[in-house]
Amino acid sequence: MTSDGEVARYVPVVSAAGRSDRWTFPAGAVGHDQSCKGYRVDASDGHLGAVSWASYAPGESYLVVTYRHHLREAHHVVPAGAVAGVDHAARTVTLTVTADEVKATPEHDGPEAPVDWGYVDQFERGMLGGGFVWPYTDV
């Protein structure tokens, strides 16, 4: 969040080594002994769902966000770099992207299902175009 309480838009940061922060939680968001599983997820435009799974591996961190879609649950992978902040006291994760941007990505099989990193690569290349763009095309 910005100093005036606004949610900052996702802008990838590239390190001197050329690696993107897209798959890393913001500094101080989640400590080595903390988890955000079960936390409420607020997109930049309002409530989205809950964290049903999270991976904290350096450079491969992500959330699986689950919400009700009609009569079933929908799951989406969100890179940890899209996290604006984590409030452990309120058990809330705030994202820098909108709910529609998350919902525009393909659904994930389930909270604990393995992530297809080939799919993630396509997803990331789409994000390089300026936001959550799916499907990615080379045109």
The overall average pLDDT reported for the chain is: 78
Answering whether pTM is above 0.85, one says no
Q: Give 25 or 129, the one with higher predicted confidence.
A: 25
**Does residue 33 lie within any of the structural domains?**
no
Decide if 89 is inside a domain: yes
What's the mean pLDDT in 4-30? Answer: 59
Q: How many CB atoms lie within 10 A of CB 29?
A: 19
The answer as to whether 45 is a domain residue is yes
SS3 state of residue 43? strand
* Residue 86 lies inside a defined structural domain of this protein: yes
Residue 31 falls inside a structural domain:
no
CATH of the domain at 73: 2.30.30
Judged against a pLDDT cut of 60, whether residue 81 lies above it is answered with yes
Domain count, the chain: 1
Phi, psi of 125 (to 5 degrees): -60, -35
Nearest Cα residue to 9 out of 104, 88, 91, 83: 83
Which has the closest alpha carbon to 113: 76, 79, 58? 76
Host domain of residue 48? 40-127
Q: Please determine, for residue 128, whether its predicted confidence score (pLDDT) is greater than 80.
A: no
Residue 105 in domain: yes
Question: Would you list the DSSP string of 61-123?
Answer: -EEEEEEEETTEEEEEEEEGGGEEEEETTTTEEEESS-HHHHHTSPPPS-TTSPP-HHHHHHH
Averaged pLDDT for residues 101-115: 87
Per-residue pLDDT, 39: 98
**78 domain residue, yes or no:** yes
- Find the range with the poorest average confidence among 7-11, 24-28, 111-115, 124-128: 7-11
How much is the pLDDT for 105?
Answer: 81
Mean pLDDT confidence for 92-114: 89
Judge whether 120 lies within some domain: yes
**Separation in Å, CA 4 to CA 1, 12, 47, 95:** 8, 21, 20, 16
Q: pLDDT tens, 27-70? A: 889 988 899 999 999 999 999 999 999 999 888 899 999 999 88
